[in-house]
Chains A and B, each alone.
Chain A
Amino acid sequence: MSSAVFWGTLAAVFAAGLALTGLVENEYYYNALYLILQAMLMAVAWNILGGFTGYVNFGSAGFFAMGAYTTVALHKALGLPLPLLILAGGAVGGLVGLGVGYLTLRLKGVYFAIATLAMAIVVETLINNWTYVGGARGFYILTPEKHLWFDSYIQMLFVVMLLLTLAAVAVSRILNSSRLGRGLAAIRDDEIAAECAGVPTLKLKLISASVMGAMMGVAGAPFPFFVTFVDPVSAFNLFIAVNAIAMPMIGGTAHWIGPVIGALLVGTTQEVVKVTVSSEMNVLIVGIMLVLFITLAPQGIVGLAQRLRARGSR
């Protein structure tokens, strides 16, 4: 996809989103779209360290929750506006990504994966015990009065999330085809060979982990305003953790468009299932899809498409 087509598509999607807010009033759609976009942002973020660099992060829920709880804490303490809260969430996520990375990215990938899980649980325990933000009992946030020119607050949140997600996709694409991206791919393919080819592997891995952490923190920052009641159970959600891994793996991890496709496909399916069947069924479905794709189509949908195209051109 050429740059012109890419940026044109992004602009068109954003314009369509804005147009939607003028046409549709039913809040259900904005709720659903917000969740799908949130999942897409998490998937794109995960893929930067997972797909591009080859290091699995099991603690996505932890980064997300940190963004959410940074918002809670700062909102309660200083009453900051949403844009600053998003920046703060990103900063916290990025710093934690850097910190966990610094401690464990020098060890084998497996230990990093376990360490991220550890981080998520430690953070959850800390927040459970932190009464200022509500601890285990949770925290209520009132929906703010101001929502610019939109009809309702949820419409504004939707547009904000749309903007954030599109920005993340753009960052991901730029990364994918840049010198930095090739360095990350070399690390993923063969870290020792990359190191001996002059790639500063530790530095690049740390950058990758920080970017991922920051994006996930950004994804979590508006969440308290979306749900109005935040508690550790909803923030450190099973669902968020599985989706962050499943969507990129189903869509295809090597390419920036993989998580986007995965999120659209899986996210829409989940919305439909949630409404028609049940929420637990969703986790079951995504778990089964994940296992099926990993075993049968490890390159994801993008990989399948590439193989079909290669076969077609013979």
Chain B
Amino acid sequence: MSGMVLRAEGVTKRFGGFVALQEVALHVGPGERVGLIGPNGSGKTTLINCISGALASDEGRIEFQGRDVTRLPPHQRTRLGVARTFQIPKPFRSMSVLDNLRVPLEYAAWSRAEHRRIRDEAMETLELIGLQHRAGTSAASLTQVDMRKLELARALAAKPRLLVSDEAMAGLSSSEVDEILEILLALNRRGVAVIMIEHVMRAVMKFSERVAVLVAGRKIADGNPQAIAADPNVIKAYLGE
């Protein structure tokens, strides 16, 4: 078994004539913090959708902890330990915040949860995120920032080995960005690998051990954050053209 938590190779995805991803490779080691950046429309969310299973890639192979998951539906990948958040939060609106967490605990993490303690486990996760006071609130009436936190909490409740955070900080204030960053770092300290997709550069730089850059469906760089920031190709992709 390879040490890699995620090994995506040659991922290609086309929408009709439009090539959204062209042979993208991405590896993530256990507990690693990877930033994924790139201009709008470069394919970041598409890549995440292929990794999580929401979309089927046309070519390529995706392995999670040594196991080939390329043909598995999303819910099975989540059960194996891949969790993701959505750019625009998708809470279960008819349920309370607490019940929102029960769903992943009862389904994704069913074998890893202690069944009689589901409520307690949900509350623990809420405490980690800082939403414990909102446990009984209806998910539909949360503030924007709390909804982002609920997205993260729900992903956490699935007890993942790999968490993909898709622009969780978009449009947030500076202090709110720090809150989310703290949550992700605390999560990482527990051994969860994180792929962070962000446009908030200071967060990416602060958080990532490694940064991958996607431009027009291709990965053009992958390495040390400082080196990436100085890479002329990356700068051109963001500022030029």
Q: Would B93 and A189 count as touching, CB distance under 8 A?
A: yes
Q: Could you give, for residues 186-208 of chain A, a 1 whenever the CB lies within 8 Å of some chain B CB and a 0 otherwise?
A: 10111011111111111000000
User: Is B99 in contact with A182, judged by CB distance below 8 angstroms?
Assistant: yes
The answer to whether A183 and B90 have CB atoms under 8 Å apart is no
CB within 8 Å of A: which B79-128 residues: 79, 83-84, 86, 90-95, 99, 102-104, 106-110
Per a CB cutoff under 8 Å, which of A193, A195, A202 touches B92? A193
Structural contact, B102 and A182, CB atoms closer than 8 A: yes
CB within 8 Å for A195 and B73 given contacts A185-B95, A188-B94, A190-B91: yes
> Which residue in A190, A192, A198, A201 is a CB contact (below 8 Å) of B108?
A198
Which residues of the other chain, A, contact B103 by a CB distance below 8 angstroms?
182-183, 186, 194, 197-199
A73 to B109, CA, bound (A): 48
Q: Are A254 and B94 in contact (CB under 8 A)?
A: yes
Closest to A178 in B: B106
Using known A-B contacts A185-B92, A189-B92, determine if residue A196 contacts B78 with beta carbons closer than 8 Å: yes
* Inter-chain contact total with CB atoms closer than 8 Å: 78
Nearest A residue to B80 by beta-carbon distance?
A: A198
Residues of B within 8 A of A183 (CB): 103, 106-107
Q: Are A189 and B95 in contact (CB under 8 A)?
A: yes
The answer to whether B28 has its CB under 8 Å from any CB of chain A is no
Q: Does B149 belong to the interface (CB within 8 Å)?
A: no
- Asked if A179 is at the interface (CB within 8 A of a chain B CB), the reply is yes
Q: Is the CB of A199 within 8 A of B90?
A: no
- Bin the interface of chain B by size: 20 to 34
CB distance from B78 to the nearest CB of A (A): 4
Q: Mark B29-54, 1 if CB is under 8 A from A, else 0.
A: 00000000000000000000000111
Are the C-beta atoms of A196 and B54 separated by less than 8 Å? Answer: yes
B168–chain A nearest beta-carbon distance, Å: 15
The yes or no answer to B134 lying at the interface (CB within 8 A) is no
| Residue of A with least CB distance to B109 | A198
Q: Is the beta-carbon distance between A192 and B90 smaller than 8 angstroms? A: yes
Additional A-B contact list (18), CB under 8 Å, known A197-B78, A199-B107: A182-B95, A182-B102, A182-B103, A185-B92, A185-B95, A189-B93, A190-B93, A193-B91, A195-B54, A196-B52, A196-B53, A197-B154, A197-B157, A197-B158, A198-B75, A198-B103, A198-B158, A200-B73
Nearest 7 A/B pairs, CB to CB: A198-B108, A198-B107, A193-B90, A189-B92, A197-B104, A198-B78, A195-B74
* B interface residue numbers (CB < 8 A to A): 52-54, 73-76, 78-79, 83-84, 86, 90-95, 99, 102-104, 106-110, 154, 157-158
